[in-house]
Amino acid sequence: MNRDQNPTLLQVKNLTVCFRAHGGTILAVNDLSFDLNKNQILGIVGESGSGKSVTMQNILGILPKNGIVDPNSQIKFNSSRYGEIDLLKLKPKEKKWFKLRGSEIGIIFQEPSAVLSPIYKIFAYFKEVIDLHLPGKSKTEIEQMAADMLAKVGIPNPSQCLAQYPFELSGGMKQRVLIALTLVTRPKLIIADEPTTALDVTVQAQILRLLKKLQQEFELSIIFISHNLGVIRQIADQVLVMYLGEAMELGLTEDVINRPLHPYTSLLVKAIPHFKSKGNPLVTMPGSIPNPLERPTGCPFHPRCPFVLNDVCSKQHPAFINYENGRKSRCFYLEKHKSRGVPVETHFRN
Amino acid sequence: MAKKNKPIDAQKIHTTTYWKLVWIHFKKHKAGKFGFYTLLFMALCGIFADFLAPVHPQARDSLAILAPAQLPHFFDSKGFSLRPFVYGIKTKRDPITLRPIATLDKSKRVYLQFFSHGFKYTLLGIPLDVHLITGENGQKIHFLGTDEFGRDLFSRLLYATKTSLSIGVLGVLTAFVLALIIGGISGYFGGIIDYLIQRFTEIIRVIPVIPLYMGLAAAFPKDWSSSKIYFAITIILGLIGWPTLSRRIRSQFLSLKNEDYVLAATVAGASSYRIISRHLLPSFISYIIIDLVISFPYMILSETALSFIGLGLRPPVLSWGVLLQSAQRIEVIVHSPLLLFAPAFCIFVAILSFVIIGDALRDAADPYKTHY
Amino acid sequence: MKPILEIKDLKVYYQLSKGFFQKSKQTIKAVNKVSLNIPKGQTIGLVGESGCGKTTLGRTILNLVQPTSGQIYFYKDQEKIDLTSLEAKKWKTLRKHIQMIFQDPYTSLNPRMTIRDIIAEPLVNLKIYPKKEINDKVEEIATRCNLHLSHLSRFPHTFSGGQRQRVAIARALILKPDFIVCDEPVSALDVSTQADILNLLTEFKLDFDLTYLFIGHDLSVVAYISDVIAVMYKGRLVETGPTDQIFTTPKHPYTQLLLSSVPAIDQRNLIQDQEITIFERNDLTLGEKSCPFLPRCPYGETICLNQEPELIPISSERFVACHLFSSSQFDQSTIAQPEERPHATTLSH
């Protein structure tokens, strides 16, 4: 198949990552597999300990030193420079990373102030990125490219912005600058790790609108990580629900949220408050997220699951199975009832 | 990884107090442990100086002027001996300069006696005369040699350790008490009080230290007893040392004052006194202890410097500085360099130990870090 | 409905001094003339984005911040007490009636104290019960907050955010106060834990007959728990009213913007609008009396630049601070109804 016609941009296969810590080994990600196509936004949603950050660290090659990746894990990236490469096989300081990160793979972090040092003007950041990845441009060319991109992200006065320092900009504007910095090298894949969590809700709405528009214009693929299901609903085409390092459910966003195929997703959706449910107690998940050192046996969610099957869920580990419409779920209860002919989508309905 | 199989008593781990956690982390720091035990050893040497000294520190042995070190042996050309011994001293006169030269007499063995009788001393009011090691038949032995008056360096070093370390402790404590009051008031109340106190502190800090020392020390009346001078030096050290410490305490108070749990204590009806004692002090004590440990070396060096230039402690009081001061002569350096190097080495070891302990404590001082 | 707290023209201004010798000083108006009545037994939701002054307002009520001017009246039984001019000694007794739950469960508990000591602190400080009874009271409230008794001798660093927040709630409730300021109590928690804590707060409100001032930035959370919502923007109250009315018919342009920005979970309401340039009028210089929302407001007129809009009632329960409702400069007949205005996409859950 011609490389450019391959719709899959990123393939994560059986990703398993452990960390050595005081008191034992922590399984941060367990047998995670998902595909990301071109021109698609995949949302990854999960609470603390879900492993979403560690997954991202592996895709970017910034896993901490005490992390151990299983040798059978693969992350295949369809690079225009290197062809199809396995990102996990690259050593941490390998040269290929410096050509991939910031160029083909872009990153948008949560806190723009942590990325933009206050002692440099905005122009300096563009110069750095362009000199690194698109060398040989003159100062005027850089200014032009930067101003164009700043205008594309909605900054009203780009040339003025280039002359400003980061502390002169608001949080929303800084995040727009970061997005512009990421896009100036025309990446194919963008990892956005909670990019709107630190922003006010009105600014968040603007940034989400911006990202959607840019994704369409530049034909980007975005992995959008968030703990906020509402945000995921707005921006993601597909969503992957993670819990304790494992994929619980995968599917089209609207399907997963309105007709969940996993008890965890269903409870997660139900736990979100609405003004209309005022007066009624919120449905909560029993128990709490377990200590990573005390991982439950079998299905990681079984101690808190209202649909737990006592003989199976604590003893065996459910597989991530395909259902209709490209949906996947990891649940014994669902498997059991599907085979009895009960329609799949009625089980955990809200 | 080897500890994986030990069953974890959750309740026990979760109820350990802060200081226990710090101690557990501190123990893991190998250098810190080494520093700690070294200091402990030196302190014990100082405390039990009377018991450990084979000879009285002021006793002059006219038969051993600038004698070389008499190191203990177990065997030599004559064979093995279960009882350790040292070589005796013989003295000759140099025919040209008529200077007495003491050398080791390898033909003469002086055996060592343990827990034997020696010069008298009192311990906690009890008169005793037992010593760990002495020479047989009351013979004087000098492990590290003697000075130009025949005084035993080893014994003098033991007493000097006691004085130098205790002055360091007392000096730091004095500075700390002053700094706590001044810095605490400044940081807790803020506003104009803070402003005025800080300006005053800056004025004090600006005064150059050595002239200040010299001025203060020169002001001691000549007839003061050595113990009076001892305490006076301690107070001077404290008075010089408080500004730096008070700055640290003030900044701790300022930052802790606005912590949420302090505000929560106010909302829970706590009085100022309770907030300071129950909420502010415990948190900042851990940082301050590190500052205190780091301050010790400066105190010890200050006392050493003062005594070295002759303005601090004076003989017969013994400290490392005093020993260094007496060793400032050419014949000493040429013939008995140990008189200079032995106290210098002690200073070096003591300061290094404090610094290492300070480092280890700093690492251990935040035991709530989750190490994922 | 009887009020329990009455805030009248409260101002909290901070002076940023530029140095010992310079005259010019910048003033930050954290709370700028806020008046609010809180009826007994209700939950008032105070909502706004960062820098709107809601946390400052909450802390001023608790006397953690000194007001620049204005009054706060607290109604205890039949007595009307002016909190702003109360002496320090009398505040101690008042702590029995007014309490606070802080936002960050990781910094609001003293890490050197056991859970038991943290919860017992209010009782120990106010000396209400004899020493022997204190432990029983602590265990009683801890059990009600779903904390294990074995946890009481532990230290906070071993607990999760949700558990810590329960400890904070137990500490606030042990005195059985009448009024509690909840300063973003669930903002730092996971969604599943958040639901737990919200349920706990609702339960206690009914059991102990409490009144809450619930401060938050997440509109869905605030709306779920509040009977009345007050919207703040840059230190001013811009709109108040019953929750469902605010949500179905928001009047103030800022409220409309806020509501239309909330990412809904059941439909894609945010990204229909393709306009991505920041709408902000940079050419205006705002004066002391200008409406602070003017640069972002689609309806601004000259009057908005020169005259401060007052919070006025437009119905028995609705108050709005906007010239659209009070000024003749806006031709009432030609203004579109709120539901038809741009940005007025209402949320239908």
Share of chain B above pLDDT 90, in %: 13
Q: Say what the pLDDT of residue B90 is.
A: 81
- Would you say residue B371 has pLDDT above 50? no
Q: List pLDDT tens digits, range B266-308.
A: 999 998 888 888 888 777 777 788 888 888 888 888 888 888 8
C82 three-class SS: strand
Of C107, C125, C157, the CB nearest to B274: C125
Total number of domains in chain B: 2
B55 three-class SS: coil
CA distances from B63 to A142, B98, B145, C338 (A): 89, 15, 12, 112
**Which of B110, B135, B151 is where one domain is finished?**
B151
Is the pLDDT higher at A202 or at B132? A202
Q: Say what the pLDDT of residue C327 is.
A: 66
Chain B neighbors of C107, CB-CB under 8 A: 259-261
Which chains border A (3 or more CB–CB pairs < 8 Å)? B, C
Q: Which of A230-244, A260-274, B225-239, B242-256 has the highest mean pLDDT?
A: A230-244
Would you list the DSSP string of A104-161? TEEEE-S-HHHHS-TTS-HHHHHHHHHHHHS-S--HHHHHHHHHHHHHHTT-S-HHHH
Same domain, B253 and B117: no
Residues 6-25 (B) with a CB less than 8 A from some CB of A: 8
Residue B354 included in any domain: yes
Same domain, B147 and B234: no
Max intra-chain CA distance, chain C: 71
Residue B95 included in any domain: yes
Take residue C321 and report the two structure tokens written for it: 């601070």
CA distance C89 to chain B (A): 10
Q: Say what the pLDDT of residue B290 is.
A: 80
Take residue C43 and report the two structure tokens written for it: 């939950």
CB distance C63 to B268 below 8 Å: no
Residue B203 included in any domain: yes
- A-B C-beta contacts closer than 8 Å: 11
**Which of B135, B151, B167 is where one domain is finished?**
B151
Same domain, B179 and B271: yes
Q: Say what the pLDDT of residue C343 is.
A: 39
CA distance A21 to chain B (A): 5
CA distance A233 to chain B (A): 31
Give the side-chain half-sphere CA count within 13 A for C54.
28
Domain harbouring B321, CATH code: 1.10.3720.10
Beta strand C211-216 pairing with C228-233: unpaired
> What dotted CATH number matches A1-104+185-350?
3.40.50.300
Residue B274 included in any domain: yes
User: Could you tell me the pLDDT band of residue A55, with boundaries at 50, 70 and 90?
Assistant: very high
Look up the domain containing B289 and give its range: 156-364
Q: Which of A210-224, B18-32, C260-274, C314-328 has the highest mean pLDDT?
A: A210-224
Q: How many Å apart are CA C169 and CA C59, to the nearest integer?
A: 17
- Tell me, what's the ipTM? 0.86
Share of chain B above pLDDT 70, in %: 94
User: Cβ contact (<8 Å) for C50 and A200?
Assistant: yes
pTM for this model (two decimals): 0.81
CB distance A288 to A301 below 8 Å: no
CB distance C196 to A283 below 8 Å: no
Whether chain B has a CB inside 8 Å of the CB on C111: the answer is yes
H or E stretch at B191: helix B191-206
Q: Say what the pLDDT of residue C273 is.
A: 65
- Would you say residue A20 has pLDDT above 70? yes
Same domain, B186 and B113: no
Same domain, B231 and B147: no
Q: Is the bond leading into B316 cis (omega within 30 degrees of zero)?
A: yes
Residues 137-156 (A) with a CB less than 8 A from some CB of C: 153-156
Whether chain B has a CB inside 8 Å of the CB on C92: the answer is yes
Q: Say what the pLDDT of residue A125 is.
A: 94
Residue B9 included in any domain: no
CB distance C240 to C280 below 8 Å: no
Same domain, B213 and B290: yes
Same domain, B176 and B230: yes
User: Cβ contact (<8 Å) for A281 and C276?
Assistant: no
User: Cβ contact (<8 Å) for C278 and A272?
Assistant: no
- Would you say residue C336 has pLDDT above 60? no
- A-C C-beta contacts closer than 8 Å: 139
Residue B15 included in any domain: no
C-chain residue closest to B282, CA distance: C112
Q: How many Å apart are CA C46 and CA B82, to the nearest integer?
A: 88
Closest CA to C112 of B16, B2, B230: B16
User: Could you tell me the pLDDT band of residue C78, with boundaries at 50, 70 and 90?
Assistant: confident
Residue B35 included in any domain: no
Take residue A10 and report the two structure tokens written for it: 């990123």
Q: Say what the pLDDT of residue C345 is.
A: 30
C-chain residue closest to B259, CA distance: C107
A-chain residue closest to C246, CA distance: A275
**Which of B97, B132, B151 is where one domain is finished?**
B151
Same domain, B132 and B231: no
Owner of token pair 């895709």: A59
Q: Enumerate long-range contacts of B70-78, CB under 8 Å, 24 or more apart.
A: B70/B104, B70/B110, B70/B141, B70/B142, B70/B143, B70/B145, B71/B143, B72/B112, B72/B143, B76/B106, B77/B106, B78/B109
Q: Say what the pLDDT of residue C344 is.
A: 31
Q: Say what the pLDDT of residue B369 is.
A: 53
Of A19, A21, A23, the CB nearest to B8: A23
Mean pLDDT on C189-205 = 91
Residue B283 included in any domain: yes
Same domain, B134 and B188: no
